[in-house]
Amino acid sequence: MSTSEEDPDLPIKRKVPLDAAGLRRRAEIRLGEQRSEITGQARSEAGARRLLNELQVHQVELEMQNAELQETRDRLEALLEKYTDLYDFAPVGYFSLDEQGRILEVNLTGAAMLGVDRSRLIDRRFQQFVAPTSRPCVAQYVEQIFAGAGKQGCEAKLLKKGGTAFWADFHAASAISLNGTQRSCRVAVSNIADLKRAEEAQRRVDSLAAANQEANREIARRREVEASLRESEQTQRGLVTESRELHAQLRRMTHQLLLAQEEERKEISRELHDEIAQLLAGINVQLAALVEVASIRPLDLPNQIARTQILVKQSVEVVHRYARRLRPALLDDLGLIPALRSYIKDLPGRKGLRIRFMASAGVEALDNIRRTVLFRVAQESLTNVTRHANARLVKVRLQQTPDAVCLEVHDDGKSFEVDGVLASNTKKRLGLLGMRERVEMVGGNLAIKSKPGKGTTVRAEIPFQGHRRGANP
């Protein structure tokens, strides 16, 4: 190596260039190298700065993430504490049961319900705290839960420590798996003892209300019965009074009837004595005269016999007249219409009285008893007309209706107070009552109307046998 060459490691000031061109060249090379070194150093420093910046950013990110995680942890701890409080101090008891019915978890409310510390309930069978009468129901309930029957409800009696029983309400959903090995279900238990007592109280209230309503109905019914009894008692008293009045009236009527019968008998006896006895005495005298005439004057015998026959005929007529008054033979032999015609023709006391009689043949379809009733009604009506009415014209109409026979006797004489006569004690009253009794006896009805200036009308309607008619207005 020549001495003109410079050591590159020596400082510049110590190097002496051999020539200008080489020195220039070497200076340029050295400058390029220095620039490369400076650029490399700058690049290295920029990368270090970027790396340091990234590390610092990453550190800040980690610190921020750490702060967020800390905040999240604090929030989760607060939520966990809140959840724990909600779980432990919930108003219902929560029991986690396995398939064998063992208690896996329980909150403080559930432990308080059973009166046992929570730590002593774990792994104990839930059935131990169920009343014997409710155990089959609870066992079936747990089986249904693990069978996946969905939400289930149940009511059963639980036993608190000390043997006190209370009603509880169970609600649970389908069972879930823990860690994929053990299945469990969570049962929410509510103490419904107060509800049961309220329901029992409500049932008692309802029962008392029903009993009260029944009592009120019974009271109302008894009041109605009492009112009915009072009304019945009043009615009975009225009926007793009416019965007594009717009894007294019947006694008076019976007495009047007996008196009327006695008067009738006296009249018949007097008439028999005055007519029949005289006629029979005359016949006896004529017979005695016949004996004398037959021995002394035989030629006068026919005349005496003729006079005697006249007396016998008169006696027979009198007997027939009385027989007709008692019961006309024509009524039984020929019927109602001929009997009435005969009675009207021979009516005593009919002087100056015109009687028009109209009848339809269908009335004879009545039986003998009903024909007799109509005859007696007509007889009594005509007798009253001749005795009391002072009438000039009487119309007697006997006609047939679809199911009855109607007799109507109308006169143009003076009227009378019908109710007053029926309430009196006269013999005329007995005749009216007798007519009414006869008509009603065969299911008919009798109406008597009497007005001043219009006379009196007696109307009797008697149904054919097998028919009954209501009273006429």
Same domain? For 445 and 348 the reply is yes
Is 197 a domain residue? no
Is 420 a domain residue? yes
Give the H or E element holding residue 104: strand 103-106
Same domain? For 342 and 459 the reply is yes
Rounded to the nearest 5 percent, the helix, strand and coil shares of the chain are 65, 15, 20
Nearest CA to 394 out of 379, 373, 405 is that of 379
Is 224 a domain residue? no
Give the H or E element holding residue 395: strand 393-400
Domain span at 69: 12-85
Q: Which of 291, 326, 361 is the last residue of a domain?
A: 326
Query: In the chain, how many domains are there?
Result: 4
Neighbour count for residue 150 (Cβ, 10 Å):
10
Same domain? For 80 and 104 the reply is no
What pLDDT is recorded for position 411?
A: 92
Same domain? For 321 and 336 the reply is no
Same domain? For 422 and 456 the reply is yes
What pLDDT is recorded for position 406?
A: 93
Q: Tell how far CA 241 is from the center of its chain.
A: 39
CB half-sphere exposure, 289, CA atoms < 13 A: 15
Nearest CA to 151 out of 105, 101, 185 is that of 185
Q: Which of 163, 191, 219 is the last residue of a domain?
A: 191
Same domain? For 78 and 105 the reply is no
**What is the 3 state secondary structure string of 65-77?**
HHHHHHHHHHHHH
Is 108 a domain residue? yes
The whole-angstrom separation of Cα 383 and Cα 308 is 34
pTM > 0.75: no
Is 406 a domain residue? yes
What pLDDT is recorded for position 328?
A: 66
What pLDDT is recorded for position 259?
A: 60
Residues in the chain predicted with pLDDT less than 70, given as ranges, are: 1-20, 23, 35, 37, 40-43, 149-150, 174-181, 249-295, 297-301, 304, 319-329, 349, 422-430, 466-473
Question: Is-contact 456 389, C-beta < 8 A?
Answer: yes
149's tokens = 């029957």
Same domain? For 411 and 336 the reply is yes
The model's pLDDT over 44-98, given as tens digits with 9 standing for 90+, comes to: 777 777 878 777 777 777 788 888 888 888 888 878 777 777 777 888 888 988 8
36's tokens = 């490369």
Is 209 a domain residue? no
The whole-angstrom separation of Cα 446 and Cα 404 is 13
Same domain? For 301 and 388 the reply is no
**Torsional sign, CA 273, 276, 282, 286:** negative
Question: Is-contact 97 126, C-beta < 8 A?
Answer: yes
The whole-angstrom separation of Cα 138 and Cα 187 is 11
Same domain? For 337 and 451 the reply is yes
CA distance readout (Å), 421 to 383, 386, 425, 435: 16, 17, 8, 14
Same domain? For 338 and 438 the reply is yes
What's the chain's length in residues? Answer: 473
Query: Hey, which residues does 157 pair with through a beta bridge?
Result: 167
What pLDDT is recorded for position 198?
A: 86
Q: What is the DSSP string of 122-156?
A: TTSBGGGGB-GGGHHHHHHHHHHHHTT--SEEEEE
CA angle 456, 416, 251 (to 5 degrees): 110
Is 251 a domain residue? yes
The whole-angstrom separation of Cα 382 and Cα 355 is 10
What pLDDT is recorded for position 233?
A: 82
What pLDDT is recorded for position 48?
A: 78
Q: Which of 29, 51, 85 is the last residue of a domain?
A: 85
Q: What CATH number does the domain containing 390 carry?
A: 3.30.565.10
Same domain? For 334 and 459 the reply is yes
Same domain? For 334 and 456 the reply is yes
Strand 354-359 and strand 393-400: the pairing is parallel
The whole-angstrom separation of Cα 425 and Cα 256 is 8
Is 6 a domain residue? no
